[in-house]
Amino acid sequence: MKRTGAQILWECLVREGVTTVFGYPGGAILPAYDAMLDYPIRHVLVRHEQGATHMADGYARASGRVGVAIATSGPGATNMVTGIATAMMDSVPIVCITGQVGSKLIGSDGFQETDITGVTLPVTKHNYLVTRAQDIGPAVREAFHIASSGRPGPVLIDITKDAQQSSCEFDWEQAAPKPHARPERIVNPDSMATALQLINSAQRPVILAGHGVIVSNASATVREFAERAQIPIAMTLLGIGGIPASHPLNLGMMGMHGEAWVNTAIQEADLLLAFGMRFDDRVTGNLKTYAPNARKVHIDIDPAEIGKNVPVDVGLVGDLGTMLESLLPRVAPGGRDAWLQHINGMKGESAVRDIKNLPDDGHLYAAHVIHDLWRATDGRAIVVTDVGQHQMWEAQYYHHDEPRTLITSGGLGTMGFALPAAIGAKMARPEAEVWVVAGDGGFQMTMPELATIAQEKLDINIAIINNGYLGMVRQWQEFFYERRYAATPLLSPDFVKLAEAFGLAGAAITRRSEVIPAIESARQHAGTVVLEFRVEQEDTVYPMVPAGADLHAMIRRPSPLVETAEDA
């Protein structure tokens, strides 16, 4: 039977299991929008195409399924670039569909013509310019395969208007992705043996658990591995949730804002086991002094990551879970009490505080807000953060026990991510409690998506950590630019009134005692509530490894008041 290209597009999306798409219409994608009405698809109308890509991203991160965003040519497509780059850096499977001017107009600077496949070349895993109806099916099917296989990532399909309009025969089977020959990566038994030998002989090993633990669904296997060998685990920002925060072997987050005992353990280690992470500069600090005594075993699905930033002794390329399962039976059990005790000793040292014991003295600290949010939600919410100080405090004080419950832009650090990504997460997992934790700055970047929430009648709760500053930048200015606060003080709208203007509920919180009651009432409220927490303005995220400094050269919490020993 003949179908139009537009029909083929939706037919393929439905068959790929797509139920929800995030998008914004326009001339070049109109035929696709028209055809959409005949398919079982929920379309979420966004307020800016960047939002559509972040929603698809949040949808994918929350569920593991491919997220789909759709937009028109030209400005619609270029508005997607930030979201695509965000997904690329964090290996998130999304498929973006853009309309393109008619194939005869291509190259003529036609109205709303942009070479979007050219623009997105470096920030997509792959992209397609489709100019004929019969090429739509194969492109869509291959795009889904590429987005979700191997190291996941974004794929863009740019479809000309005439390709959407013209008709051809469509056969699902024939549109199956064509095989691309690749050398099979058979893990060298010698590498395996060397890895095992390093693991079994290490006295002071540390596992570095990255996003790959979650993407590979390897949480249980990594735990089993760590428990069997009694190896402590440090997590990257995107690894959070991969291992329960409450697990006794889980040390917490490493890197620029990792706790001192985590970074010190890495620096003192004699073996690093990098599981699905990529030694980003935010986790290594100065590479020259990074883990100087450690041998390194790196397991990653992307061979191009092996040895990229840190030379390794053994690189094992493949799916993390599968790889660990084959190592597991040959891993010698336990026997690292001295090392674990040593790290625990560092946790107890006086330079370490626990926020639970920190008096508020009438101030409202962001860290307290996050801590209380964790308590009030039983640590079970999906928290979607923006980028900045609040993001780091969330990572430090919200203790995630489940994979896919912290959704945050790590590699690109995209402000404006939280609100739209939370919408995507909620659409993917409607039964879950979803919270946005955003700064006053980043929230204002994508805040029109509140209208999307209202239109879709979603129940998401939003915590704006309002410190009156672009706080993380202000912190750098405080440390490195003599407190010359260039362009970081920030005026915000009245967020409560703003929420009301969108038909949502809102409340402002200024005192610690109001925090839990406000969170509780937001949780009870059917529908979205915007909570504005007016927190301490010049508060600082500690500890901090200045960019490029040695990982052990942390700026520690300054005053004994904020440095209470955990057991004190």
Partner 1 sequence: MKPHTFVVTVEDLPGVLNRISSLFRRRNYNIDSLTVGHTERPGVSRMTFVVLTDTPGAERFAANLYKLVNVISVADITNTPAVYRDLAMIKVAAPQERRPEIVHLVEVFRARIVDLSPESLTIEITGGEDKIDGLLDVLRPYGVLEMARTGRLAMTRAARANASAPAPGPVADTHDPQVSYSV
Ligand X SMILES: Cc1ncc(C[n+]2csc(CCOP(=O)(O)OP(=O)(O)O)c2C)c(N)n1
The binding site for ligand X (CB under 6 A) comprises 386-390, 413-416, 439-442, 465, 467, 469-473
Q: Show the tokens assigned to 546.
A: 């200045």
In the complex with Mg ion, the residue whose CB is nearer, 147 or 530, is 530
The length of the chain in residues reads: 568
CB 213 within 8 Å of CB 244: no
Mark the segment that binds partner 1 (CB under 8 A) among 18-26, 176-184, 203-211, 504-512: 176-184
- Residue 321 CB, shortest distance to partner 1, in Å, is 12
Q: What string of DSSP letters covers 370-426?
A: HHHHHHHTTT-SEEEE-SSHHHHHHHHHS---STT-EE---SS--TT-HHHHHHHHH
Establish if 491 lies at the interface with partner 1 (CB under 8 A). Answer: no
To the query of whether residue 161 is one of the catalytic residues in this protein, the response is yes
To the query of whether residue 544 is one of the catalytic residues in this protein, the response is no
The one of partner 1, Mg ion, ligand X, none whose footprint includes residue 542, by CB under 5 to 8 A per kind, is: none
> In this chain, which residue has its C-beta nearest to ligand X?
439
The C-alpha atoms of residue 439 and residue 97 are separated, in whole angstroms, by 30
Q: Show the tokens assigned to 534.
A: 């007016």
The one of Mg ion, ligand X, partner 1, none whose footprint includes residue 288, by CB under 5 to 8 A per kind, is: none
Q: Show the tokens assigned to 38.
A: 């005949």
The C-alpha atoms of residue 30 and residue 165 are separated, in whole angstroms, by 10
The one of partner 1, ligand X, Mg ion, none whose footprint includes residue 472, by CB under 5 to 8 A per kind, is: ligand X
- Residue 481 CB, shortest distance to partner 1, in Å, is 29
By CB under 8 A, name the one of 107, 248, 292, 307 that touches partner 1.
Answer: 307
Q: Show the tokens assigned to 298.
A: 């790196």
SS3 146: helix
Establish if 190 lies at the interface with partner 1 (CB under 8 A). Answer: no
- Residue 379 CB, shortest distance to partner 1, in Å, is 34
Catalytic residue among 445, 447, 472, 544: 472
Catalytic residue among 111, 349, 537, 538: 111
The C-alpha atoms of residue 10 and residue 17 are separated, in whole angstroms, by 11
To the query of whether residue 417 is one of the catalytic residues in this protein, the response is no
- Give the per-residue contact string, 112-151, with partner 1 (x = CB under 8 A; - = no): -----xx--xx--xx--x------------x---x--xxx
By CB under 5 A, name the one of 124, 164, 467, 475 that touches Mg ion.
Answer: 467
Establish if 15 lies at the interface with partner 1 (CB under 8 A). Answer: no
SS3 206: strand
Residue 74 identity (one-letter amino acid): G
By CB under 5 A, name the one of 241, 439, 506, 543 that touches Mg ion.
Answer: 439
User: Exposed, middle or buried: residue 280 (CB in 10 Å: 0-12, 13-18, 19+)?
Assistant: middle
CB 419 within 8 Å of CB 530: no
Establish if 347 lies at the interface with partner 1 (CB under 8 A). Answer: no
In the complex with ligand X, the residue whose CB is nearer, 6 or 119, is 119
Q: What is the CA radius of gyration of the chain?
A: 24
The one of ligand X, Mg ion, partner 1, none whose footprint includes residue 67, by CB under 5 to 8 A per kind, is: none
- Residues whose CB falls within 8 Å of the CB of residue 402, separated by 6 or more in sequence, listed in order: 241, 244, 380
CB 125 within 8 Å of CB 147: yes
- Residue 470 CB, shortest distance to ligand X, in Å, is 4
The C-alpha atoms of residue 182 and residue 345 are separated, in whole angstroms, by 49
| Peptide bond preceding 329 in cis form (omega within 30 of 0) | no
To the query of whether residue 164 is one of the catalytic residues in this protein, the response is no
Beta bridge partners of residue 268, listed in sequence order: none
To the query of whether residue 49 is one of the catalytic residues in this protein, the response is yes
Residue 84 identity (one-letter amino acid): I
The C-alpha atoms of residue 171 and residue 168 are separated, in whole angstroms, by 10
Catalytic residue among 36, 134, 161, 253: 161
Q: What secondary structure letter does DSSP report for 178?
A: P
Establish if 182 lies at the interface with partner 1 (CB under 8 A). Answer: yes
- Residue 256 CB, shortest distance to ligand X, in Å, is 12
Q: Show the tokens assigned to 502.
A: 């969108």
Establish if 179 lies at the interface with partner 1 (CB under 8 A). Answer: yes
User: 367: how many CB neighbours lie within 10 A of its CB?
Assistant: 25
- Residue 445 CB, shortest distance to ligand X, in Å, is 6
The one of partner 1, ligand X, Mg ion, none whose footprint includes residue 326, by CB under 5 to 8 A per kind, is: none
- Residue 559 CB, shortest distance to ligand X, in Å, is 21
Establish if 332 lies at the interface with partner 1 (CB under 8 A). Answer: no
The one of ligand X, Mg ion, partner 1, none whose footprint includes residue 117, by CB under 5 to 8 A per kind, is: partner 1
The C-alpha atoms of residue 374 and residue 368 are separated, in whole angstroms, by 10
Q: What is the contact surface with partner 1 in residues (CB under 8 A)?
A: 117-118, 121-122, 125-126, 129, 142, 146, 149-151, 179-184, 186, 301-304, 306-308, 311
Active site residues: 49, 111-112, 161, 472
